[in-house]
Chain A
């Protein structure tokens, strides 16, 4: 595969064609980042494109924003349960037989069950509820930045963008501070098990299974504790919640917590890293934010659009249907590519321009409809605080080495981003 990154500027762009286009190989994302040229080509020539890949089941790639919205808003026609996302096996890895005991959680539940589970926590994630966390998020962010004082180089990912979201979700769940590093590792292994850096078992699936078991063991103890002594953290709310009048089944409860740990973590980390990278590549936009802190909200929306940390989720048709004139049969699946929707020429003027003042900015970084990101308001708050503090204190920043990307076509991750920086002290 030919790389067309900044690290390999001499490589010529490949001629794109429907026969050779690749939008799902994890290695492609690792080496080249998001395949925006491929998505743009598909939006133009084949917005509903049938993909066959040797390491996953066939699917239809959906690349237009309007189609993703239409599908996402019909959760009874398009189910999450049968296929959550397009997961690609590692080379040589064999497909596992379907699990005897498939885990159900917020992401792969369908109506009406999904709504019952979602409602248990939705009030804890409204803008009003998360606003109450702002002093805490500010405190955490300030602490993280203070740790970088007196130096001029750091890995922005492990030292800044990963630390804030782990701390915030851990606080919400009531996980004590000494256990935060473990949460960080589990997230890496569950999302990035396909990446050699995070692999622990024989293969990605084993890495995932092992990390999942450890998360379950950890929270089993915590759930018992919270049932005896309820507190006001999210673990306690779920541990003592009732579904249809009965306590939530144990596996569902543990899976719920697992999803919160992982989802509350990885995506915000990557939006933060990608956001700073965009600011480094577009210094005029960072200067604009510094000069006018009132732009922070629209800047955060643009960072979400620009980085789109979730690459895709899938849906499976319950009956024969049609998308943009293309017939899709019951049982076939579609893959919704959110970063493609967020560069859709029919929705955005100059979609490839990073513009922190963009308005309107109807991006789909958090999805839409039944499965709209439960934590979107928390993510927005975290990004707001982080970039507000960075705009105040980061006098300069530049890349100090190559960035390394996660080998995943599910979540767009940056594992490491060395920067050289000048940071000023916190002002009160």
Chain B
């Protein structure tokens, strides 16, 4: 799985951090990945972050 964040859409609302703090962080009002390849154990949290991003800025792609 590859996580992509569209920084043009991101407003830095930190909802991804709330959903998956192990994977996302927000610096200077923009979301960034803390780890590029989250382990399978975090996939459900990442999917929640994708769903709950208010700006639909995060997407998941099969590698």
User: Is the Cβ of A372 less than 8 Å from the Cβ of B51?
Assistant: no
Let me know if B56 and A362 touch, CB within 8 A. Answer: no
Contacts of B18 in A (CB 8 A): 301, 360
Given A360-B19, A362-B19, answer yes or no on A126-B52 (Cβ-Cβ < 8 Å): no
Complex CA–CA separation, A68 to B56 (angstroms): 14
B11 engages A126 (CB within 8 Å): yes
Q: Which of B11, B14, B18, B29 has the most CB of A within 10 A?
A: B11
Q: Is B54 an interface residue (CB 8 A)?
A: yes
Asked if A376 lies at the interface with its beta carbon under 8 angstroms from chain B, I say yes
Contact B51 A362 (CB under 8 A): yes
Q: Closest chain B residue to A74 by CB distance?
A: B56
Evaluate contact between A366 and B54: CB separation under 8 angstroms. Answer: yes
User: Taking the nearest CB of chain A, how far is it from the CB of B38, in angstroms?
Assistant: 16
Q: How far is the CB of A296 from chain B (nearest CB, A)?
A: 14
Nearest CB to that of B14 among chain A residues? A127
A51 at the interface (CB under 8 A from B): no
Known: A69-B51, A366-B54. A372 touches B13 (CB 8 A): yes
What is the bound-complex CA distance between A292 and B52, given in angstroms? 27
Q: List A116-149 residues whose CB lies under 8 Å from chain B.
A: 122-123, 126-129
Q: Distance (Å) between the CB of B15 and the closest chain A CB?
A: 9
Interface residues in A, total, Cβ within 8 A: 18
What separation, in Å, do the CA atoms of A368 and B19 have in the docked complex?
A: 15
List of B residues within 8 angstroms of A369 by Cβ: 54-56
Question: Would you list which residues of chain A between 375 and 420 have a CB under 8 Å from chain B?
Answer: 376-377
Whether A128 pairs with B54 at a CB distance below 8 angstroms is no
Docked pose: A366 CA to B29 CA in angstroms: 19
A122 to B30, CA, bound (A): 12
- B29 in contact with A368 (CB, 8 Å): no
Interface presence of A104 (CB below 8 A):
no
Candidates A69, A127, A360, A362; contact of B13 at CB < 8 Å: A127
CB contact between B12 and one of A126, A301, A362 (< 8 Å): that residue:
A126
User: What is the CB-to-nearest-CB distance from A384 to chain B, in angstroms, rounded to a whole number?
Assistant: 13
Instruction: Give Cα A369 to B14, complex, Å.
Output: 14
Q: Can you list the 8 inter-chain pairs with the closest CB atoms, starting with the nearest?
A: A372-B54, A126-B29, A126-B12, A362-B52, A127-B14, A368-B54, A122-B11, A128-B29
What are 28 A-B contacts defined by CB distance under 8 Å?
A: A69-B51, A73-B56, A122-B11, A123-B29, A126-B11, A126-B12, A126-B13, A126-B29, A127-B12, A127-B13, A127-B14, A127-B29, A128-B26, A301-B18, A360-B45, A362-B19, A362-B51, A366-B54, A367-B54, A368-B54, A369-B54, A369-B55, A372-B13, A372-B54, A372-B55, A376-B13, A376-B54, A377-B14
